[in-house]
Amino acid sequence: MDTNLTLEAFAGFFEEILGVPPFPWQERLMRQVANDRKWPSALSLPTGSGKTATMLIAVYHLALEAEVGERRTAAVRIVFAVDRRLVVDDAFSLARTLEEKLLQPPGPVTRQVAQRLESLSYNGRPLVARRLRGGVPREDDWARTPAQPTILCSTVDQVGSRLLFRGYGVSDRAKPIHAGLMGADCRILLDEAHLSEPFRQTLEWVNHYRSTQWVDRKETSGPWGVTILSATPGIDSPSPFTLTQEDYANPVLGARWRVNKPTRLIMADTPRGHERTADENRVSALVDEAVRGIADLRAHGIESPSVGVVVNRVARARAVFDRVRKQVGDDCEVILMVGPARPVDREQLTETLGKLHTARVAVQGQDRPRPIVVVATQCLEAGVDIDLDGMVSDAAPLDSLRQRFGRLNRSGRDIPSFGAIVATRDDVTQEAGDPVYGTSIAACWDYLSSLAEGSASPDMKPAVDFGLASFSARQAALPPTAEAFSPRRDAPVLLPSHLDLLVQTSPRPLPDPEIALYLHGPDRQPSSISVIWRRDLNSKMPGDRVRRLLSLVPPRAAEAVELPIWAVRRWLGRDTGSIEILADVAEVEPQDRPAIRVTNRRAFRWTGDDDGSRWVGPSELRPGDTIVVPATFGGVDEFGWNPASGEAATDVADIAAEPYAGKYFAVRVAPGLVPPATSQRLSEVLANTQNRGWRDVRDALLDLDLGDETRERLARLDMARRNNRVTIFYDLYETNQSSAGQPAGVALVAPFGVSNGDVSEDGPQPTTEDDASGSMQGVAVALERHGQDVADLARKFARAAGLPLSLIEDIAIAGYLHDVGKADPRFQALLAYGDPLGPDPDLVLAKSSMHNVHVSTQRVGLPRKWRHEALSVRLATLHASFQKATDAELVLWLIGSHHGWGRPFFPHTDPLDRESRTDLPPVLGQQIVLDPGPGPNSLDYLYAGTDWTGLYERLRNRYGIWGLARLEAVLRLADHRASEKERLLAKGDVLIDERNEFSTSS
């Protein structure tokens, strides 16, 4: 490894990544972090100053410290979180740029950084950048190793729920892994912290418990901390890191700071002779100002201006969007941005938004063929780096307005800009209040009016300059009251008793603390439910058939809309009126609270496994659910959530799955996905081809009118990997009763992907939480080999994570012994199920050569929901390797919890625990006779004078709740990667490098 990386080379690293030198504050912060070996608690930086570049500073700090092992203070996981639904797209764009540049370094400094980061990674990738959006089960490829340098861009809901052991969209058994990774060896950068006050307070409590209760074993949880970022003055920190005169003198930052942004205050009154509602007045005024802005900017020489219109409600944004399009016609390009939208649909806006990106506008100016109008909700306030020539806004709290006008002439160009704020009489009446912002809009309007006294625009409207320097000076001379800012609600105190409940994940306790309270405060509903639309789904399909269909064509985050749970409940219940108040902030549920109507509109809850995936009604929805609904329900269009729309939704599953095509590829041909006239003919064709090969089926289908996209996907099957392996599934869809039970649709699956596809992600794999499917992956692996593979990887992972030597060896011992319970003859019979010769008495297996056989464990004499980990705990204490453990209790805990069960209870009892077990084959080279006695699945179990739950309590006090979860994650991820490696090696689809690491040959 090149050890010559220095702090002084940071500027070169920055320029190699972004093509521009760092601002003075960025170099100053880098020096402070590196020299003090810690981050400031808060950064108070104005909008447009480049706060997202803190990710580069965090990555460079990690590279500087990559070699120091246990003394490392730089976290391997960098989380950039913001409380907006749109979310984090620009931050993620920077993260991906950083990932790509480190994978193919453009210069000598990035090459040195990449080499250092590779020493921590498992697969040789210097950095992984991922966007957590919508909790969709099985999409957790960021959580593959405990020490992989990673940048995660996400929302408060996704980050906070994982940190508190309740990860939205994460199965109960996987929740400890995510908590262990998010709550340990992690630096959280909370952007626009004023938007996330309750979560900020919760993070303070987390930090408090980490720093006071488990001081003696902090090394087990690694470096961890929170830095809040805000462009809004007055953040709660005694000495935030801020800009200095050196920054203001910088040509680029100085121009952004000094630019003027004159903004008119418009009161939307009802014209005489008209009877319009206040909201109709508002929409009309917003549209008029947008059109006026275009004309005004053109009159000042800007031929193709860009104007933003930002409003406080999703429904209002749609109304403004429709009116603007009608009024400007083809003269302007008009786009709509709302937070609750499918990422696949939002990607269609990328080209237009790219024309408005700050860096591009600063260089090329208004390089556009025609004007652009961007109509948006609060999603434009954070995470969107665009530079507009004009801004028209709803009246809003002062902090929101500062954010919105931060997008106006963001780069500080020498141009005239146009600004307007539109209010109605209802807005400025204190008594009325606002369902989202309370009375803060009225207080802000009063404050802006006082600033505008004696200042007017040419049309005699009062005006305020929202330029950073000008407004800051006026604000210092005449400070606003706290009431002019968005209401900041307090989170409930996170008590130790709450943590005691939250860390119980298997099973979850009753009562279970409501996570939303700690993320958004009381009376606020989080964006905690993900909705996906599928055209080949209908509510009459049996649940087992839907489970199989979704296992083969799994839901993806890119096709999901994140929504408040109350809005989805009301939509499914056909009550859309109160959804009109939906905003892009965590808002209060409407107080009318009508009873959910009896409705036949059900949704399918997808949990990624058979246990929790089922049809549910509106009242059964839970925070964090991922639900799949028939496209015929409507509710979404190309711009996002549209509950009033009854038009069938498009099915974007194929587009969302494209990043997985190189490793897994599926084609659906079924009613709803083909033209209606084709459905009957499709059934006849399938009936005639059931006994033919997949190419014959494919060719027969191509003779039908399927649509261009389906035909193109069928043609791609010719490039299926592994000797053109394709599997046909006829029984996924409802049989056509009118055609003598003929199949109504089909899915053709290339389980190893197609050669012209993306290989950036893994395809679906059997869940390892179930003993049968997790151990039946089509590859026979001996117990001895698997135990050694896991031990070796666990040792490597623990060393890279910077754990002490004693813990490294204890985790390796747990890895070696973790599966010894599979030696039970009943389980060996399960692994050989379907083999006429039965299990091989001379070969004890950890994995079966059978592939995902669906068989009840009771067929081989195992109790229902039997877990091998419980027997592994009993056998481990009798094995010679166990005697080498430094912390024997930790080793037993890691063995017992390595699939997420037993935290703190197991789901089964075993009558053989009461008998002497002389039937066991040799276990890892040692013959063991097991005396009668209870295992950890029994309340009677004792080890070293304590039962299993008492052992849990001891270890939590010893290592801390996040530290213990981190140690579990080290072992469990080693088990996952070892299983993956064994499967790929057996199939000849793996390359081994000089470090004995592997990657898929694709």
Per-residue model confidence as pLDDT tens digits over 139-185? 667 888 999 999 999 888 889 999 999 988 788 899 999 999 999 99
Buried b (16+ CB within 10 A) or exposed e, 118-156: bebbbbebbbbbbbbbbbbbbbbebbbbbbbbbbbbbbb
Q: pLDDT at position 88, please?
A: 46
**Neighbouring residues of 235: CB distance < 8 A, sequence distance ≥ 6:** 42, 44, 193, 194, 228
d(CA 668, CA 684): 16
Tokens 């980050």 sit at which residue?
159
Average pLDDT over all residues of the chain:
86
Could you give the percent of the chain with pLDDT greater than 70? 87
User: Cis link prior to 511 (omega < 30° from 0)?
Assistant: yes
Q: At what angle do helices 868-876 and 888-896 cross, to 10 degrees?
A: 160
Residue type at position 895: I
Structure tokens at 653: 């599953």
d(CA 748, CA 667): 5
Q: pLDDT by residue (tens digit) across 812-831? A: 999 999 999 999 999 998 88
d(CA 452, CA 423): 15
How confident is residue 966, by pLDDT bands cut at 50, 70 and 90? very high
Q: pLDDT at position 6, please?
A: 94
**What are the C-alpha distances in Å from 171 to residues 317, 546, 556, 898?**
36, 18, 15, 14
CA angle 592-593-599, nearest 5°? Answer: 130
Q: pLDDT at position 741, please?
A: 64
Task: Name the pairing type of β-strands 990-992 and 998-1000.
Answer: antiparallel
Using alpha carbons, select from 429, 527, 566 the residue that is nearest to residue 199: 527
Residue type at position 285: A
For 57, the enclosing helix (H) or strand (E) is: helix 54-65
Considering only residues 793 and 757, tell me which one the structure prediction assigns the higher pLDDT: 793
Structure tokens at 329: 């016609």
d(CA 697, CA 687): 10
Q: pLDDT at position 594, please?
A: 52
How confident is residue 10, by pLDDT bands cut at 50, 70 and 90? very high
Contact between 474 and 868 under an 8 Å Cβ cutoff? The reply is no
Buried b (16+ CB within 10 A) or exposed e, 920-952: bbebbeeebebeeebbbbbeebebeeebbbebb
CA angle 153-159-161, nearest 5°? Answer: 155
Chain centroid to CA 614: how far?
Answer: 23
Rounded to a whole number, what is the largest CA-CA distance in the chain?
A: 96
Structure tokens at 779: 């590859």
Chain centroid to CA 593: how far?
Answer: 30
> Which DSSP state fits 742?
B
Please count the residues of the chain: 1002
For 405, the enclosing helix (H) or strand (E) is: helix 398-405
At 293, give phi and psi (nearest 5°): -60, -40
What's the count of helices (H) and strands (E) in the chain, helices before strands?
35, 28
Strands of the 727-729 sheet, one edge to the other: 665-669, 746-750, 727-729
Q: pLDDT at position 461, please?
A: 84
Q: pLDDT at position 633, please?
A: 94
Structure tokens at 302: 């800007």
Using alpha carbons, select from 464, 26, 1, 523 the residue that is nearest to residue 266: 464
Considering only residues 848 and 527, tell me which one the structure prediction assigns the higher pLDDT: 848
Q: At what angle do helices 54-65 and 24-36 cross, to 10 degrees?
A: 30
Please, how many CA atoms are within 13 Å of residue 491, restricted to the half-sphere of its CB?
Answer: 24
Using alpha carbons, select from 608, 483, 521 the residue that is nearest to residue 139: 608
Contact between 184 and 973 under an 8 Å Cβ cutoff? The reply is no
**Neighbouring residues of 965: CB distance < 8 A, sequence distance ≥ 6:** 165, 176, 177, 179, 180, 183, 184, 503
Q: How many CB atoms lie within 10 A of CB 639?
A: 22
Task: Please give the average per-residue pLDDT across 748-764, as a whole number.
Answer: 68
How confident is residue 103, by pLDDT bands cut at 50, 70 and 90? very high
d(CA 762, CA 660): 6
At 459, give phi and psi (nearest 5°): -90, 15
Task: Please give the average per-residue pLDDT across 677-689, as a whole number.
Answer: 87
For 28, the enclosing helix (H) or strand (E) is: helix 24-36
d(CA 91, CA 191): 10
Q: pLDDT by residue (tens digit) across 201-210? A: 999 999 999 8
**DSSP code per residue over 570-608:** HHHTT--GGGGG--SS--PPPTT-PPPPP-S--EEE--S
d(CA 91, CA 666): 32
How confident is residue 733, by pLDDT bands cut at 50, 70 and 90? confident
d(CA 967, CA 801): 10
Contact between 122 and 997 under an 8 Å Cβ cutoff? The reply is yes
d(CA 566, CA 654): 29
Task: Name the pairing type of β-strands 150-155 and 128-132.
Answer: parallel
Q: pLDDT by residue (tens digit) across 624-674? A: 889 999 999 999 998 888 888 889 999 999 999 998 898 889 999 999 999
Q: pLDDT at position 144, please?
A: 87
How confident is residue 504, by pLDDT bands cut at 50, 70 and 90? very high
> What sign results for the dihedral spanned by CA atoms 132, 135, 136, 137?
positive
Chain centroid to CA 851: how far?
Answer: 30
Q: pLDDT at position 87, please?
A: 43
Give the chain's radius of gyration (CA, Å).
Answer: 30
Q: pLDDT at position 334, please?
A: 93
Strands of the 333-337 sheet, one edge to the other: 333-337, 372-376, 306-310, 390-394, 418-423, 262-267, 463-465
How confident is residue 576, by pLDDT bands cut at 50, 70 and 90? low
Enumerate the H helices of 233-302 as residue ranges.
Answer: 245-248, 251-258, 278-299
Enumerate the H helices of 213-258 as residue ranges.
Answer: 245-248, 251-258
User: Cis link prior to 904 (omega < 30° from 0)?
Assistant: yes
Task: Please give the average per-residue pLDDT across 343-371, as a whole number.
Answer: 78
Contact between 755 and 892 under an 8 Å Cβ cutoff? The reply is no
Contact between 973 and 146 under an 8 Å Cβ cutoff? The reply is yes
Q: How many CB atoms lie within 10 A of CB 854?
A: 9
d(CA 393, CA 259): 19
Q: pLDDT by residue (tens digit) across 272-304? A: 556 667 788 899 999 999 999 999 999 999 999
- The verdict on pTM exceeding 0.95 is no
**What are the C-alpha distances in Å from 983 to residues 107, 165, 780, 999?**
37, 30, 9, 12
Using alpha carbons, select from 79, 178, 81 the residue that is nearest to residue 128: 79
Contact between 819 and 879 under an 8 Å Cβ cutoff? The reply is no
Q: pLDDT at position 1000, please?
A: 35
Q: Is 97 exposed, middle or buried (0-12, 13-18, 19+ CB in 10 A)?
A: middle
d(CA 313, CA 426): 15
Task: Please give the average per-residue pLDDT across 415-424, as a whole number.
Answer: 94
Q: How many CB atoms lie within 10 A of CB 72?
A: 22
d(CA 819, CA 254): 62
How confident is residue 997, by pLDDT bands cut at 50, 70 and 90? very low
End-to-end CA distance of the chain: 27
Per-residue pLDDT at 964 exceeds 70? yes
Q: Is 645 exposed, middle or buried (0-12, 13-18, 19+ CB in 10 A)?
A: middle
